Amino acid sequence: MKGAVRRLSTSFFLLLTITATLHAQDLASFEKRITMRKLDNGLTVIVMERPEAPVFSFATIVNVGSAQEVPGITGLAHMFEHMAFKGTDKVGTSNYSAESSALTKVEEAYAAYDRARRDPVNHDEAKIAALDKAWKSAIDDAQKFVVPNEFSKIVDRSGAVGVNAFTNTDETAYFYSMPSNRVELWAYLDSERFLHPVFREFYKEREVVHEERRMRTESSPFGRLFEQALATAFTAHPYGQPVVGWPSDLESFSATDAAAFYKKNYVPANMVIVLVGDLKAAEVMPIMEKYFGRLPKAPAPDPLRTIEPKQTAERSVVLREQSQPVYFEAYHRPSATDPDAQAFDAIEMLLSEGRTSRLYRSLVRDKKLAAVAAGFGGFPGNKYPNLFAFIGIPTAGHTAGELAEPIHAELDRLKSEDVPADELQSIKTRAKAQLLRQMDSNSGLALQLATYQTIFGDWRELFHDVEKIDKVTPADIKRVANATFMPSNRTTAMIESAKKAPAAAPKGDTK
C-alpha cells in the first residue's frame, strides 16, 4: 500500500511540474515571442525570439514529398533534396558559364541514350552502347568544373552544426543551426540554393540514391516487408509508392525532370521557413525580405486529386525469408486534420507508450510472445488519410502469425470497454510532457512549428493538439476503435522464417 501511495505522489508531483512548466511555455507566451509574415511572393516566415544562447536554428519545409510524384518520377522529391546541397551558379563551380554549356550537352546526350534504351521496338544494342558512351563522356566534361561539397564546407566554416535534410511522403525539410551573427550569411546561401539551383553531378547522385534503396529496402527484410505492405494497402493513393522511388525510375528520370519538378513545387507559396533563437524579428524580417523575397512568385501546386477508395476486403502479404519473423497489420484511418485525429493519438499512447502500455504488458511482459509489440498512426504520412499500424517481433519459438490474436484482443477491449479514467489521464499527462520535450531545443522547435504551419496552416495547432487530446473521452476512443479496427479494413503482412536450403553436395560425394 505504501508503494502505491509513493507512485501516486510521484505522478501527482509530475503533473504539477508539467502544469507549471506548460504555464511558462503556453500559447500566450509563445505568441508574444513569435512574429509571422507572409512575403509578397507568398513565402511564410516565422521568427521566434529565444535569447538563451547566441545561436539560432532554422527549418525550411517545402510542402512536397513522394505523394506529389507520378509514375515515372518516383523518388524525385528525395533526389532534389540531394541536389540542394550541390551548390548554385556561384557556389560549387570553377566556371559556371562553361559548366552550364557542358550540363546542357549532358542532358542532350542522356535524352538520346534514354530514348534508345527504352525503345521496345527499335532496340539496337550497338546504338545504345554508343549513346551510353557519348553520355558518360559528356558527364566527364561537365565534372571538370565542379568544386565538390563547397556549399557544405562554407556553412561548416561558418559554425553550422546539424546540417541535414529529409524527405518523406508529405514534405521535404532542410535544417541546421548557426551562430546568431551569421544569420545574413545563412539567408544568402539558402535563398541562393532555391533561387539558382544547379543540377550538377545529377547522375552520380542518382546512383547514390539507388544504392540507398538497395541498402535500406532490397537488402533489408523490414524494408521489403514495409514496401510490400504499403503497395498492398494503397491501391490508388501515392502513399503506396516508396519515398526512395521504384528501381526503374531511379534508372530513368533525368536532371531535366528534376528541373521541372523543382519549378512546379519549389515556389514560395509552397514553403515555410521558421527561425528560432537569439534573434530579433525586427532585424531578421528585412533580411528575409532582401534575400528570400527574390524568389519569383508563382502559384502553389494544385492539391492531390486521387483519394484512396474505401477498403472492403482484408488483404494480406506473406514473405518467406531466412530472417527474423515479423508481424505487421494496418487499418486505414483519416488524416491529421480530421476531428478524430486526437482520439487516434490517445489510442496510440494507450497501446504503445512505454512499459505500462497495453501491448507491452500483454504480448511482451505477460504472454512473452513478443520481443517488440507496438502500434502507431501516421504511416507512411499524415497529411492525407493514412494507416494505423501494428508491428510485432515474436520471441524464439513463436511465429509471426501467433501475434495476430492477442493484438486483436487488445483492439476488442478498446471497442467494448471504457478506458478507465486514471489510465486516460495518464496518457494526457504524457502528451503534455511530450510537448515540452519538443520545445527543448531550438532546432526541434523550429521543425515542429514549420510542420504544424505547413499541415494545419497555423503553428498554434502545436498547442491546440494537446488541448484536443485533453478533451478525448472514453466514448470517443470506443467509437473510433469500432469504426476503424475491422477485418474488412485490415491489411496484414508477415515475414515467415524459411529454412535455409541445404548446400549441394560436391560432385562425386555419394554420402
**CATH architecture group of domain 315-497:** 2-Layer Sandwich (3.30)
User: Is residue 342 within 8 Å of 472, Cβ to Cβ?
Assistant: yes
Q: Bigger pLDDT: 405 or 433?
A: 405
User: Is residue 300 within 8 Å of 64, Cβ to Cβ?
Assistant: no
Q: Look at residues 63, 38, 42 and name the one whose alpha carbon lies nearest to residue 297.
A: 42
Per-residue pLDDT tens digits for 192-201: 999 999 999 9
Identify the three-state secondary structure at position 403.
helix
As given in the structure block, the three cell numbers for residue 110 are 542522356
Per-residue pLDDT tens digits for 267-288: 999 999 999 999 999 999 999 9
Integer Cα distance of 281 and 35 in angstroms: 6
* Mean residue pLDDT across the chain: 92
User: Is residue 386 within 8 Å of 430, Cβ to Cβ?
Assistant: no
User: Percentage of the chain surpassing pLDDT 90?
Assistant: 86
Torsion over CA: 19, 20, 22, 27 (sign): positive
User: Is residue 46 within 8 Å of 459, Cβ to Cβ?
Assistant: yes
Name the DSSP class of 496: E
Q: Looking at residue 4, what is its pLDDT?
A: 37
Band (pLDDT 50/70/90 cuts) for residue 8 is very low
Integer-rounded Cα Rg, in Å, for the chain is 26
User: Percentage of the chain surpassing pLDDT 70?
Assistant: 93
Residue 356 has pLDDT above 50, yes or no: yes
Exposure string over 205-232, b if 16+ CB within 10 A, otherwise e: bbeebbebbeeebeeeebbbbbbbbbbb
481 CA to centre of own chain? 26
Band (pLDDT 50/70/90 cuts) for residue 440 is confident
Q: Bigger pLDDT: 4 or 358?
A: 358
- Give strand pairing partners of 161: 177
Integer Cα distance of 344 and 240 in angstroms: 21
Per-residue pLDDT tens digits for 178-219: 999 999 999 999 999 999 999 999 999 999 999 999 999 999
Name the DSSP class of 503: P
All CATH 3.30.830.10 domain ranges of the chain, comma separated, are 55-93+146-294, 315-497
Exposure string over 426-450, b if 16+ CB within 10 A, otherwise e: bbbbbbbbbbeeebeebbbbbbbbb
**Residues 6+ positions from 86 with CB-CB distance below 8 Å:** 92, 151, 197, 198, 199, 200, 201, 205
Ranges 63-72, 123-132, 174-183, 427-436: which has the least confidence: 427-436
Mean pLDDT of 252-275: 97
Integer Cα distance of 191 and 296 in angstroms: 11
Q: Look at residues 370, 428, 443, 361 and name the one whose alpha carbon lies nearest to residue 404.
A: 370
Q: Looking at residue 506, what is its pLDDT?
A: 60
Considering the entire predicted model, what is its pTM? 0.90
Band (pLDDT 50/70/90 cuts) for residue 31 is very high
Mean pLDDT of 134-152: 97
Q: Which residue do the cell numbers 561558418 mark?
A: 158
Residue 310 has pLDDT above 70, yes or no: yes
Mean pLDDT of 140-149: 97
Integer Cα distance of 232 and 216 in angstroms: 19
Residue 14 has pLDDT above 80, yes or no: no
Q: Looking at residue 501, what is its pLDDT?
A: 58
**Identity of residue 402:** E
User: Is residue 450 within 8 Å of 60, Cβ to Cβ?
Assistant: yes
Q: Bigger pLDDT: 475 or 435?
A: 475
Which secondary-structure segment (H or E) carries 488?
A: none
Distance from first CA to last CA of the chain, Å, rounded?
Answer: 69
Band (pLDDT 50/70/90 cuts) for residue 502 is low
Q: Looking at residue 508, what is its pLDDT?
A: 54
User: Is residue 231 within 8 Å of 238, Cβ to Cβ?
Assistant: no
Name the DSSP class of 41: T
Q: Looking at residue 436, what is its pLDDT?
A: 81
Residue 55 has pLDDT above 80, yes or no: yes
Residue 19 has pLDDT above 50, yes or no: no
Q: Look at residues 343, 346, 436, 356 and name the one whose alpha carbon lies nearest to residue 15.
A: 436
Ranges 388-397, 436-445, 449-458: which has the least confidence: 436-445
Per-residue pLDDT tens digits for 163-179: 999 999 999 999 999 99
22 CA to centre of own chain? 28
Q: Looking at residue 505, what is its pLDDT?
A: 58
The fold adopted by the segment(s) 55-93+146-294 is Cytochrome Bc1 Complex; Chain A, domain 1 (3.30.830)
Q: Looking at residue 322, what is its pLDDT?
A: 87
Integer Cα distance of 44 and 254 in angstroms: 30
